[in-house]
Amino acid sequence: MATVKKRKLLTIGTTAHAERFTGKQLISVRKGTTTRSVHSLAKNASIRMASSSDFKANPERFESAFRDGDGIYFERLGIAVVNERMEEGIQMLTTGARSRNAIAGAEPERYVYALAKRASAVRRFTDTAQHTWGIQATDVMKSSFTGKGVRIAILDTGVDDKHPDLRGRHITTKSFINRESAMDGNGHGTHCVGVSCGHQQSSSGLRYGVASEAEIYAGKVLSNSGRGSDRGILAGIQWAMDNKCRIISMSLGSPAFEGEPYSRIYDEMAAELLSKNILLVAAAGNESDRPGMMAPVGHPANCPSIMAVGAIDSKLNVASFSCCGTAIRGGQVDVAAPGVDIFSSVPRPDLYELMDGTSMATPFVAGIAALVIERYPTANAHEVWVRVVQTARRLHGASTDIGSGLAQAPR
């Protein structure tokens, strides 16, 4: 295999002490409420609200709604984001007599971060000249399915769509970061695209990708420094919906604290997407430092309606950094995948790097879900979820760490 370096992403992957809240607020709109009603209620609360449909031709410009007005309403998601220093208007909007049947609630908007981290492990599986250890462990090379025709959205730091291993692929890109193109200036996004959708035969000679014929939709929702916010994630999710993606892979997150509730707004959105045949897959988080400290699954993976992915090493043990399920509803790890010493693509000129993190485990599961959809074309998103977790390989370890086990490709 090619000689590659091990990426050190400590500032991106270790988010326990990172800034958490932006000052903006997410507003949840009840199902069945018309867009006209939302704008009327916002106007009565002295909130100048734009609609995401106003930016349909150029969705990447949605941030101007916060400069030129007070916020934006993502109609297809039923979620609004309102500027900071609008407390009086938000209170009127969420508690007013006219709003009770339309507005479900509000919560702080979070910063989110790319979730890659350096770690070390003694290997049981090893990369060969043909396959990475992760491809072997997930049985991908034994599967006859390639994800052909399945659209996967990877919401991350963008992608180098001119990477030699992505030639000839169906790739659609969009940036939701101000003054940054969809070109990946970080490496994290291209690495995740490679794991989920890389070719069966890469220019390195080593297969590292799962769904080698899936259609790639790379939405840049994290900056080149690896940081973003909920509003960018929501814009990316709505874009993926508009492009009829069946799977949305999110190797990103924000830390949660023990006993902290999950986002009701995100969970309601994810449940609605499941009913519309779209599966959200997210990284559990890298805040643990085992064996001494196990951190809870982070946002948004801690939502019950989002599939949370933990990381294992090549000995099939839980990775030292992988977050843990909690006793409260939500916050569980649903399934695990390879997340230590993961070989994949990065932008030119380096081409390849090894990375660690639940960020690397997540695109394995997203790619496997695409294979399941190809294998069972009539399966809805709930059924795809069930097949992924029920066919996982049982491992020694607590379900709070690894969920149902190691995700496996269908045959």
Of 92, 109, 126, the domain-final residue: 109
Q: Report residue 342's pLDDT band, with 50, 70 and 90 as the boundaries.
A: very high
Residue 298 falls within a domain, yes or no? yes
Q: Residue 311's pLDDT is what?
A: 98
369's enclosing H/E stretch is helix 358-375
Last residue of a domain, one of 88, 109, 130: 109
**Structural domains of the chain, count:** 2
Q: State whether the Cα torsion 74-79-82-88 is positive or negative.
A: positive
Last residue of a domain, one of 85, 109, 133: 109
Give the domain extent around 397: 5-17+113-402
Regarding whether 281 and 181 lie in a shared domain, the answer is yes
- At 281-332, the pLDDT tens digits run 999 999 999 999 999 999 999 999 999 999 999 999 999 999 999 866 779 9
The model's pLDDT over 146-188, given as tens digits with 9 standing for 90+, comes to: 999 999 999 999 999 999 999 999 999 999 999 999 999 999 9
- The residues facing 29 across adjacent strands are 103
Identify whether residues 62 and 125 lie together within a single domain: no
pLDDT at position 152 is 98
Least confident of 128-137, 324-333, 392-401: 324-333
Q: What share of the chain is helix, strand, coil (3-state, %, to 5)?
A: 25, 25, 50
- DSSP symbol at 296: B
**Residues 189, 218: contact at Cβ < 8 Å?**
yes
pTM: 0.93
Residues 210 and 256 in one domain: yes
Q: Check whether residue 344 and residue 387 sit in a common domain.
A: yes
What is the maximal distance between C-alpha atoms in the chain?
A: 66
**Residues 193 and 322 occupy one common structural domain:** yes
Assign residue 239 the CATH number of its domain.
3.40.50.200
Same domain, 141 and 58: no
pLDDT at 15: 57
Residue 11 has what pLDDT?
Answer: 36
User: Do 97 and 277 touch, CB atoms closer than 8 A?
Assistant: no
Q: Answer yes or no: is 409 within a domain.
A: no
Q: Are residues 225 and 183 in the same domain?
A: yes
Cα–Cα distance for residue pair 185/131, rounded to 1 Å: 27
99 and 117 belong to one structural domain: no
Task: Give the C-alpha distances (Å, rounded to integers) separating 19 from 90, 92, 123.
Answer: 23, 28, 35
Catalytic residues: 156, 188, 359
What are the residues whose beta carbons fall under 8 Å from the beta carbon of 401, sequence distance 6 or more? 294, 310, 318, 322, 324, 325, 333, 336
User: Is residue 124 a contact partner of residue 317, using CB atoms and an 8 Å limit?
Assistant: no
Position with higher pLDDT, 10 vs 189 = 189
- Location of structure tokens 């916060």: 66
Helix (H, G, I), strand (E, B) or coil at 103: strand
81 and 216 housed in the same domain: no
Question: Do residue 12 and residue 30 come from a single domain?
Answer: no
